[in-house]
Amino acid sequence: MPASAPKGARPATLEDLLAIPEEERRHELIEGSIVEKGAATGEHGAVQRKLSAYVDPYDQRPGGRRPGGWWFATEVDVHFDAANTVRPDVVGWRRDRVPERPRGTPILVRPDWICEILSTNKRNDLIRKKRVYHRHQVPHYWIIDPEEETLAVYRWTPEGYVEILVAERGEQVRAEPFEATPLHIGVLFGDDEDDQPAREP
């Protein structure tokens, strides 16, 4: 099905999305259109791996030596409504709100944090999916741009997402909702942790 269905055509549904063979299904349902997810570059995959390592201390029960309190997943289908089932790059749920790890395909539980890593189809992450996430009140939205080597952090408000932090390579930040752990932006883009200065923007 094309990314934009002809005017008057029936909107695509979750059933249409799931009808694509699983081994070929690198697609999302966005506002009633089936859209092929942007091709992941080598930089995209490396950033995703580094980001997953950064949030890993939170992926356990709270109260231990590490921060804890979250469930995380990468590249899973998340169903928001009849017109929107998307596949965020990295997604998280607070355990105090979601006591058991979200399961199933697609996952039906609204996330508490989503991070998209921009690739060849960045318009969806910056506009269309951002609108969906805001409409469904996802509290925290991060956008990482491997080309510009930046991180933008957004917080949900009724009026729209508010950018509360933007940082670039060479800076260290404490980005909500993971303020307990400093993040060296350069590490996301290939720098070694031991070589990072403690400079905050």
CATH of domain 39-195: 3.90.1570.10
pLDDT digits (tens, 9 = 90+) for 188-201: 999 987 565 555 55
Q: What is the pLDDT of residue 199?
A: 53
User: How many CB atoms are closer than 10 A to CB 51?
Assistant: 22
Spell out the domain ranges in the chain: 39-195
In which residue ranges of the chain is pLDDT below 70? 1-8, 194-201
Q: What is the pLDDT of residue 4?
A: 47
Q: What is the pLDDT of residue 197?
A: 55
pLDDT digits (tens, 9 = 90+) for 121-147: 899 999 999 999 999 999 999 999 999
